[in-house]
Amino acid sequence: MRQVEPAAAGLGLCSCDVCGLVSRSDKAGDPVHCPRCRTRVHFRKPNSVGHCWALLIAAYILYIPANLLPIMETGSLFNYRKDTIMSGVVHLWKTGFWGIAAIVFVASIMVPLFKLLALTLLLVSVQRRSTWWPMQRARLYRLVELVGRWSMLDIYVVTLLAALVQIRTLATVKAGAGALAFGAVVVLTMFASMKFDPRMIWDSLRKENQ
């Protein structure tokens, strides 16, 4: 049995997310505001699990077209190709850019998938009030938060190229429908991880102890 620290919520205290002021609140469902900065405060993010699930499911759905639809259309004088993420990776690999291929593969395929799976794991474990490895789950959450913005790498590349390479007939780069879906996946997972309240990892632990 491990040490369970008292939860602020249990003491009727909640902190403001913006100015950090701790205030006293009764547990009634009415929305309350920080006395200092008037930000809405709550013990736990309201409907955290539900919202998180909704965003996550949307991300899952969009993950499919993000990988199947072409993300970039490059037209040059000599050929015209539409690349999905995977075909781009394969192309890079075949042409000898193994390092870049690995980076793209990790950043664009592995990371979003990892985020989706990690969030799913966190949500499932929270819903089941699992007390399983809370420390590791918390670390996982921090990792998801950290890594989230970096998987927009692909979108940066595509948008940069699309803006720069517009030499009319000689070469054009266009963002495909896949880029939109991919961007949506990244944004949705970022929102989902924002919506997730990591304090819930510890709630089940305390409840079990009670």
Partner 1 sequence: MSDTNTPPLPDFPQIPDAIVERRRRRSSQLVWIIPIIAAIIGASLAVKSCLDRGPVITITFKSGEGMEAGKTKIKYKDVQIGEVKAVIIAKDRSHVLVTAEMFKEAVWLLVEDTRFWVVRARISSNSISGLGTLMEGSYIGVDAGTSKQSQHEFKGLERPPVIAMDEPGCQFVLHAIDIGSLDITSPVFYRRIQVGEVIAYELDKDGKGVTLKIFIRAPYDQYVKANTLFWHASGVDFTLDANGVKINTESMVSILLGGISFLSPEDPSKSQPASSNSTFTLFANKDEAMKRLDAVVETYVLVFKESLRGLLIGAPVDLRGVTVGEVTRINVDLDPRNREISMPVEVQLYPERLWAQYRSKSQQGKPMDSRQLLSTLVKHGFRAHLRNGNLLTGQLYVALDFFPKAVPSKMDWSKNPPEFPTITSSMEQFQTTLMQIVQKIEKLPLEELAGDVRQTIQTFETTLQKIEKLHLEDLAGDVRQTIQTFETTLQNADKLLKNVDTSIVPEAHSILEDVRKTLDDLRKTLGGAKQTLSPDAPLQQDLRETLRELRRAAQSLRVLGDYLERHPESLVRGKEDDR
Q: Is 200 near partner 1 (CB under 8 A)?
A: no
Tokens of 110: 């592995």
Q: Find the binder of partner 1 among 9, 44, 65, 161 (CB under 8 A).
A: 65
Q: Is 123 near partner 1 (CB under 8 A)?
A: no
Helix axes 134-148, 177-195, angle to 10 degrees: 140
Closest CB 103 distance from partner 1, rounded Å:
26
Residues 24-63 as x/- pattern, contact with partner 1 by CB under 8 A: xxx-xxxxxxxxx-x--x----xx--xx--xx-xxx-xx-
Q: Is 188 near partner 1 (CB under 8 A)?
A: yes
For residue 160, the SS3 value is helix
Q: Is 20 near partner 1 (CB under 8 A)?
A: no
- Asked if 126 and 204 touch (Cβ cutoff 8 Å), the reply is yes
Question: Do the strands 40-41 and 171-175 form a parallel or antiparallel pair, or are they unpaired?
Answer: unpaired
Segment interacting with partner 1 (CB under 8 A) among 23-31, 107-115, 123-131, 141-149: 23-31
Q: How many CB atoms lie within 10 A of CB 81?
A: 13
Tokens of 132: 């399983």
Q: Find the binder of partner 1 among 77, 96, 164, 168 (CB under 8 A).
A: 77
